[in-house]
């Protein structure tokens, strides 16, 4: 049996479906490119039957990604498989992932069927998917709570029908490592044709054991781990890609397994996913958390200064975290910025140098000195907020203080050259600014969440505002970045407004196409 562990990333499918607001095609493509550079073997990028937007995202990513295999999810239904195949056919090679529930709880209460019916549906789905590709994955949903005899039958029949990968998910994060490892071991002992397929695992973190269960499964014969960047996903999340990758790399001599993951891309990919998905990384998160390589105890600090490996089993550099340097000012030229980004490990194609340099100069004039983390924050902001601007914030003035009614005056350009100024009062300076923006745009937007975070250190840190807002039952994520928190807040709302304008333009185009069809 091979010691190569296949890394199957489902950030853009299982991870994305748990977000507060859907990602745009451009945002998904940014993440897909980062995952490709990270070295994931397979990326599951959507559920094409679920919506036209998901179909378009899968198709776009399948067309662009060349070094990772692209996969799409389908239920064990012909129409789902047709949609997946149609979206994926633009790729040179692709995988269709079809699934059906197998636990008694799911079969009886969700599917309202008997196990024999479910077995037949699973087999037929695999056979149908094989008409489109020779790479078919079949999942036994809620395998962790499936009677072992039924699970063995399902796995055997799925492989016989043509499944090249069979996934054993702990869908609700219920099992403990010894139990889950025993399930995998039993399958290898009892399923006669198990050597004809790769056995995969997809573990959730409801009881905090997704990583432990995945590693135990590998020790018992599984050779594919399904995971997400930063562990994002349904409920408590999925198995964390960065954690399993670094466990297998750090303990390679003991465990003997390898992956194709390039560890130095971990930090950058983690930050990109966090920014685009509006999912903060907890400070004590293993591998990628802000405190993962910090030492507060005097004993620990003394030990690390004497020998780094006294308290660090992996180095920050090994996962792409470098020491911040204070070396950039408004006098720094475009080539210096480009060189610094190259030193940080970014390719020229990862960012728009003109947009980054313009943002850098504006920030340098305010702060005086710019750090590496500032550059990265600006780059991520430009990527997330880089859609064409129909609404453009030109100027904002606010009057506020103790005992005063907050008043804001905002000037904004709409379209090519329609400049409008509006004044309003509000319950604080940010609310006053928002009232101006809503009056100018005429959009009925409802705020769902508002969050402020610091990007950097000290009094000159960039303030990042993330908002989730609803317009006509659709949710949108807005991001604003500035040293001035009121300006950050206004930029986040303008970002939402531009998303809404783009969504309306797409809807209008679809209507026109529909009416023009014979």
- Cα dist. 475→19, 276, 445, 465, 467 in Å? 10, 15, 10, 16, 10
Q: With the C-alpha atoms ordered 176, 178, 179, 182, is the resulting torsion angle positive or negative?
A: positive
Looking at the chain, the number of H-run helices and the number of E-run strands are 17, 14
Sequence-ordered list of residues with C-beta below 8 angstroms from that of 19, at least 6 positions apart, any chain: 232, 277, 278, 279, 477
Per DSSP, the residues of 31-81 read HHHHHHHHT-SEEE---GGG-HHHHHHHHHHHHH--SSEEEEEEESSHHHH
Q: Measured between alpha carbons, how far is 20 from 449 in angstroms, rounded to an integer?
A: 9
Q: With the C-alpha atoms ordered 101, 102, 105, 108, is the resulting torsion angle positive or negative?
A: positive
Sequence-ordered list of residues with C-beta below 8 angstroms from that of 295, at least 6 positions apart, any chain: 301, 304, 311
Q: Measured between alpha carbons, how far is 467 from 438 in angstroms, rounded to an integer?
A: 15
The two three-digit tokens of residue 30, written as one number? 């940014």
Indicate the pTM of the whole model.
0.80
Q: Measured between alpha carbons, how far is 207 from 10 in angstroms, rounded to an integer?
A: 20
Q: What is the pLDDT along the chain (518 residues), one digit of tens a residue?
A: 899 999 999 999 999 988 888 888 989 999 999 999 999 999 999 999 998 889 999 999 999 999 999 999 999 999 999 999 999 999 999 999 999 999 999 999 999 999 999 999 999 999 999 999 999 999 999 999 999 999 999 999 999 999 999 999 999 999 999 999 999 999 999 999 999 999 999 999 999 999 999 999 999 999 999 999 999 999 999 999 999 999 999 999 999 999 999 999 999 999 999 989 989 899 899 999 888 877 555 555 556 556 667 767 888 889 988 755 545 777 788 888 888 888 777 888 888 899 899 888 888 887 677 777 678 878 877 766 666 688 999 999 999 888 789 999 999 999 888 999 999 999 999 999 999 999 999 999 999 999 998 876 666 678 899 999 999 988 888 889 888 999 999 999 999 998 888 778 767 765 665 555 55
């Amino acid at each position: 049996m091979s010691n190569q562990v296949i890394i199957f990333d489902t950030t853009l499918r299982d991870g994305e479906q748990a977000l507060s607001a859907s990602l745009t095609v451009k945002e998904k493509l940014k993440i897909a490119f980062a995952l490709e550079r990270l070295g994931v073997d397979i990326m599951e990028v959507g559920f094409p039957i679920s919506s036209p937007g998901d179909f378009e995202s899968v198709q776009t990513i399948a067309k662009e990604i060349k070094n990772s295999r692209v996969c799409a999810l389908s239920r064990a239904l012909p129409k789902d498989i047709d949609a997946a195949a149609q979206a994926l056919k633009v790729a040179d090679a692709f995988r269709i992932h079809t699934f059906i529930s197998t636990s008694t709880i799911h079969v009886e209460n969700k599917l309202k069927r008997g196990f024999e019916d479910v077995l037949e549906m699973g087999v037929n789905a695999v056979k149908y998917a094989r008409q489109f590709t020779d790479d078919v994955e079949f999942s036994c949903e809620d395998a962790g709570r499936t009677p072992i005899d039924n699970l063995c039958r399902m796995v055997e029949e799925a492989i016989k029908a043509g499944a090249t990968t069979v996934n054993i998910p702990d869908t609700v994060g219920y099992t403990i490592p010894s139990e889950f490892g025993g399930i995998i071991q039993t399958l290898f002992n009892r399923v006669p044709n198990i050597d004809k397929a790769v056995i995969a695992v997809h573990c959730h973190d409801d009881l905090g054991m997704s990583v432990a269960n995945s590693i135990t499964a590998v020790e018992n014969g599984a050779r594919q781990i399904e995971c997400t960047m930063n562990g994002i996903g349904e409920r408590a999340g999925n198995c964390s890609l960065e954690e399993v990758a670094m466990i297998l790399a750090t303990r390679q001599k003991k465990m003997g397994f390898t992956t194709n993951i390039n560890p130095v891309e971990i930090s950058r990919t983690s930050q990109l996913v966090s920014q685009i998905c509006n999912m903060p990384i907890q400070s004590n998160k293993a591998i990628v958390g802000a405190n993962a390589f910090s030492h507060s105890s005097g004993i620990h600090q003394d030990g690390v200064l004497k020998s780094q490996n006294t308290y660090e089993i992996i180095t920050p550099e090994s996962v792409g975290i470098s020491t911040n340097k204070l070396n950039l000012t408004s006098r720094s030229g475009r080539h210096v910025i480009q060189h610094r980004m190259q030193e940080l490990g970014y390719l020229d194609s990862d960012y728009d140098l003109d947009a980054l340099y313009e943002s850098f100069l504006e920030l340098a004039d305010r702060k005086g000195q710019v750090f590496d983390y500032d550059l990265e924050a600006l780059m991520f902001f430009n990527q997330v907020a880089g859609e064409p601007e129909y609404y453009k914030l030109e100027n904002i003035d606010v009057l506020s203080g103790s005992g005063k009614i907050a008043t804001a005056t905002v000037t904004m350009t709409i379209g090519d050259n329609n400049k409008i100024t509006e004044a309003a009062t509000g319950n604080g300076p940010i609310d006053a600014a928002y009232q101006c923006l809503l009056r100018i745009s005429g959009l009925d937007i409802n705020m769902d969440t508002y969050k402020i975070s610091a990007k950097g250190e000290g009094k000159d840190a960039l303030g990042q505002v993330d908002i989730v807002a609803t317009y006509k039952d659709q949710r949108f994520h807005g991001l604003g970045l500035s040293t001035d928190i009121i300006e950050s807040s206004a930029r986040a709302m303008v970002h939402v407004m531009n998303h809404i304008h783009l969504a309306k333009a797409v809807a209008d185009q679809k209507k026109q196409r529909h009416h023009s069809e014979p």
